[in-house]
Chain A
Amino acid sequence: MQNPDLPDQKGHFGPYGGIFVAETLIPALTELRDAYAGIREGKGFSREFAAEFAAELKHYVGRPSPIYHARRWSEELGGAQILLKREDLNHTGAHKVNNCIGQALLARRMGKKRVIAETGAGQHGVATATVAARFGMECVVYMGAEDIARQAANVYRMKLLGATLVPVMSGSRTLKDAMNEAMRDWVTNVGDTFYIIGTVAGPHPYPMMVRDFQTVIGIEAMIQMRDQFGRQPDVVLACVGGGSNAMGIFYPYLGEADVRLIGVEAGGDGIDTGRHAAPLSVGRAGVLHGNRTYLMQDEDGQIIETHSISAGLDYPGVGPEHAWLKDSGRVQYLSATDDEALAAFHALCRYEGIIPALESSHALAHAAKIAPTLPREQLLLVNLSGRGDKDIHTVAARSGITL
């Protein structure tokens, strides 16, 4: 299977993606689409932009992130070898910053002096506030009031970095409501404002653009696998909320038919309880936040509240390219429950001395599930998309401990 040349001109991945926004947003998206086309060349970035982006990723983010062989944990599991792509070692502690750097560079080229972002757990907000400080831009972050109450540390980080935080009181007061509010800001202030979306969702060109900025993960991984292991992995695993870390590592592998790709959604209390955030596993296609994709919705087409122990996966939609990759069968999508993710979280702490993000722990959980069933010479590459320092309060609370 070749690397599919998607999306098409209108932003469609098969029946998914597209531009489902009110007329007032169209000029902003058209301007962005044209500006983005200006930094593309063939299948990559223009030479000038590529050099600029690479320099930031190297000197500011600290790339390339290593691939680490989790030998003790693999030994304990007694099957395939687990390898970790260490996005947790990036500046700000997760893959999110790759995309923020890319969009901030684009914003600067477009002459925008103000960036806005939505955030759930606060990771994307922190990454955006970080790059805004780095590039001297004004930064406004929209965050649900519920999330603000749950994520005090990230809220303070954003303030330290000079961002203005706007609490969102509407709807369920979480990530999706913050996204609605950020869109409204963008419509009103499009002249000087760039909206940095944190995942591979939203109207075209965001799903494509965020994917392209995150593809550095997969491109590095291919080179590192060849150099360190002399071959590509048998399986690549990544967690999927909106799905940007997964698209970033999967995309270069789409054309490698021998490499199995597995996306792991948030199973919450269990898929059959209805309390989860796994639209690809049980959802149905619909339209939200500017694109058509799989959604968590009720029988009247209203978007329903989701549940996951990991705030970063707690989103009712998913990037449209994942919807397409699910239907095409190229990627297999499964889920891991809160408990399974927690068990993997603790295992990685104890066997490898790495505290993983709860998001990434979902991918680790599925790796731990299949590793014992596979021969020892098989290689499972897990995208360790973020570090778990931000999650220790959540994990402690689950064990009945107050820090």
Chain B
Amino acid sequence: MSRIASTFARLASQGRKALVPFITAGDPDAATTQELMHTLVAAGADIIELGVPFSDPMADGPTIQRASERALAKGMSLKKVLACVASFRARDQETPVVLMGYANPVEYWGLEEFARSARTAGVDGVLTVDYPPEEAGDYARALTAQEIDPIFLLAPTSTPERVALVAGMARGYVYYVSIKGVTGAGHLDVDAVARRVPEIRAAVGLPVAVGFGVRDAQSAQALASCCDAVIIGSRIIEEIEHSPPEQLHERILALIAPIRAGIDRAGG
């Protein structure tokens, strides 16, 4: 069983939902990212999503785009992201790591080469936001050949046909975008999510993680009651952006702990 599947199985047996924090690799620098990954686990993260910075992050809002720019300015690259994961794996063999990024750096490296290197580094899943299922055939095959889960996005506007298309390719979990638009924008409509998630879970046969819009314990708790995993990204990036370096780990712990508690209150 993959690390992602066994994580969801363990949580299900405990009647708990997953907490999935997102940070951009290399923001503010590679060494901090490696330490932050352990901090996130200590704060209660079940899976870590690691953003791969890209020069043109079309699907991200301004917060994550700024994180990408800071990381690229420090020389972060796809290869160095894998180095971060490998160094994390030296101390943590349990927590799944999912890369989230854009198609071009992956294509430039070569799908098979990338997939092989990602597996060696200890990557468990990859979400490439600009590979919709129609364009993702070769990519998904390259990943699954290396036992890496291809993670796909679904949106409130996804038709049943598109959900079925994703069901045919996705592994690990699916990432349900809870609101229209880009990362970090708009308002959270929990009722709308609650109405849609069961249908998606049934159609895809995988856990449904919900993201885009979670900012605090309350919104996390509300969301956790109707999905399998809560993703929190922009709010963490803002904390990284504004925290003095010496307070960063403490502040991330203080941010995540109540969110973890909120998710656990939602229960199974």
Instruction: Give chain A's interface residues, CB within 8 Å of chain B.
Output: 10, 18-27, 170-171, 176-177, 180, 183-184, 187-188, 190, 284-290, 295, 297, 299-304
Establish whether residues A287 and B182, one from each chain, have CB atoms under 8 Å apart when the complex forms.
no
- 12 cross-chain CB contacts under 8 A: A18-B134, A18-B135, A21-B132, A22-B129, A24-B177, A170-B69, A184-B58, A184-B181, A188-B182, A286-B104, A295-B104, A302-B55
Q: Chain A: which residue is nearest B153 at the CB level?
A: A23
Residues on B with C-beta less than 8 A from A27 are 155, 157
Establish whether residues B107 and A301, one from each chain, have CB atoms under 8 Å apart when the complex forms.
yes
Q: A180-B57, A302-B54, A303-B55 are in contact. Are A24 and B181 (CB under 8 A)?
A: yes
Establish whether residues A187 and B180, one from each chain, have CB atoms under 8 Å apart when the complex forms.
yes
For the complex formed, measure the closest distance between the CB of A188 and the CB atoms of chain B, giving whole angstroms: 4
The residue from B58, B66, B108, B131 contacting A289, defined by CB atoms under 8 A apart: B58
Residues on A with C-beta less than 8 A from B59 are 21-22, 24-25, 187
**Complex CA–CA separation, A284 to B109 (angstroms):** 12
Q: Does B130 contact A (CB under 8 A)?
A: yes
Establish whether residues B104 and A188, one from each chain, have CB atoms under 8 Å apart when the complex forms.
no
**Complex CA–CA separation, A184 to B130 (angstroms):** 13
Q: Chain B: which residue is nearest A18 at the CB level?
A: B135
Establish whether residues A188 and B180, one from each chain, have CB atoms under 8 Å apart when the complex forms.
yes
**Complex CA–CA separation, A183 to B56 (angstroms):** 11
Establish whether residues B58 and A302, one from each chain, have CB atoms under 8 Å apart when the complex forms.
no
Q: Chain B: which residue is nearest A29 at the CB level?
A: B132
**Complex CA–CA separation, A86 to B69 (angstroms):** 42
Q: Does B72 contact A (CB under 8 A)?
A: yes
Residues on A with C-beta less than 8 A from B55 are 171, 302-304
The residue from B108, B153, B154, B182 contacting A184, defined by CB atoms under 8 A apart: B182
Number of interface residues of B (CB under 8 A): 42
Q: A20-B130, A290-B130 are in contact. Are A284 and B181 (CB under 8 A)?
A: no
The residue from A23, A188, A295 contacting B154, defined by CB atoms under 8 A apart: A23
> How many residue pairs between the two chains, A and B, have CB atoms under 8 Å in the bound complex?
116
Residues on B with C-beta less than 8 A from A26 are 132, 155, 157-158, 162
Establish whether residues A184 and B61, one from each chain, have CB atoms under 8 Å apart when the complex forms.
yes
Residues on B with C-beta less than 8 A from A183 are 58
Establish whether residues B181 and A187, one from each chain, have CB atoms under 8 Å apart when the complex forms.
yes
Establish whether residues A300 and B77, one from each chain, have CB atoms under 8 Å apart when the complex forms.
yes
Q: Does B236 contact A (CB under 8 A)?
A: no
Establish whether residues B108 and A23, one from each chain, have CB atoms under 8 Å apart when the complex forms.
no
Residues on A with C-beta less than 8 A from B54 are 302
The residue from B102, B105, B132 contacting A19, defined by CB atoms under 8 A apart: B132
* Most A CB within 10 A of own CB, among B72, B177, B181: B181
**Complex CA–CA separation, A25 to B129 (angstroms):** 11
Q: Does B186 contact A (CB under 8 A)?
A: yes
Q: Does B217 contact A (CB under 8 A)?
A: no
Q: Chain B: which residue is nearest A305 at the CB level?
A: B55
For the complex formed, measure the closest distance between the CB of A220 and the CB atoms of chain B, giving whole angstroms: 36
Residues on A with C-beta less than 8 A from B155 are 23-24, 26-27
**Complex CA–CA separation, A18 to B132 (angstroms):** 10
The residue from B56, B69, B135 contacting A303, defined by CB atoms under 8 A apart: B56
For the complex formed, measure the closest distance between the CB of B154 and the CB atoms of chain A, giving whole angstroms: 6
Interface string of B50-86 (1 = CB under 8 A from A): 0000111111011001100100100001110000000
For the complex formed, measure the closest distance between the CB of B53 and the CB atoms of chain A, giving whole angstroms: 8
**Complex CA–CA separation, A110 to B93 (angstroms):** 53
**Complex CA–CA separation, A24 to B177 (angstroms):** 8
**Complex CA–CA separation, A289 to B59 (angstroms):** 10
For the complex formed, measure the closest distance between the CB of B223 and the CB atoms of chain A, giving whole angstroms: 18
Q: Does B185 contact A (CB under 8 A)?
A: yes
For the complex formed, measure the closest distance between the CB of B229 and the CB atoms of chain A, giving whole angstroms: 17
Establish whether residues A171 and B182, one from each chain, have CB atoms under 8 Å apart when the complex forms.
no
For the complex formed, measure the closest distance between the CB of B177 and the CB atoms of chain A, giving whole angstroms: 6
Q: Does B106 contact A (CB under 8 A)?
A: yes
The residue from A19, A170, A177, A303 contacting B104, defined by CB atoms under 8 A apart: A303
**Complex CA–CA separation, A289 to B181 (angstroms):** 16
Residues on B with C-beta less than 8 A from A24 are 59, 153, 155, 157, 177, 180-182
Residues facing A in B134-156 (CB within 8 A) are 134-135, 152-155
Residues on A with C-beta less than 8 A from B130 are 20-22, 287, 290
Q: Chain B: which residue is nearest A12 at the CB level?
A: B135
Residues on B with C-beta less than 8 A from A302 are 54-55, 72, 77, 104-105
Establish whether residues B186 and A188, one from each chain, have CB atoms under 8 Å apart when the complex forms.
yes
**Complex CA–CA separation, A190 to B182 (angstroms):** 12
Residues facing A in B165-206 (CB within 8 A) are 177, 180-182, 185-186
**Complex CA–CA separation, A284 to B59 (angstroms):** 23
For the complex formed, measure the closest distance between the CB of B50 and the CB atoms of chain A, giving whole angstroms: 16
* Most A CB within 10 A of own CB, among B61, B135, B162: B135
Residues on A with C-beta less than 8 A from B79 are 300
**Complex CA–CA separation, A384 to B154 (angstroms):** 45
Q: Chain A: which residue is nearest B66 at the CB level?
A: A170
Residues on B with C-beta less than 8 A from A288 are 56, 104
The residue from A20, A170, A286, A301 contacting B78, defined by CB atoms under 8 A apart: A301
Q: Does B103 contact A (CB under 8 A)?
A: yes
For the complex formed, measure the closest distance between the CB of B173 and the CB atoms of chain A, giving whole angstroms: 15
* Most A CB within 10 A of own CB, among B57, B132, B180: B132
**Complex CA–CA separation, A184 to B57 (angstroms):** 10
Residues on B with C-beta less than 8 A from A295 are 104
**Complex CA–CA separation, A177 to B180 (angstroms):** 21
Q: Would you list the 8 A-B pairs with minimal beta carbon distance, nearest first?
A: A301-B108, A301-B105, A22-B59, A300-B77, A23-B153, A287-B103, A188-B181, A27-B157
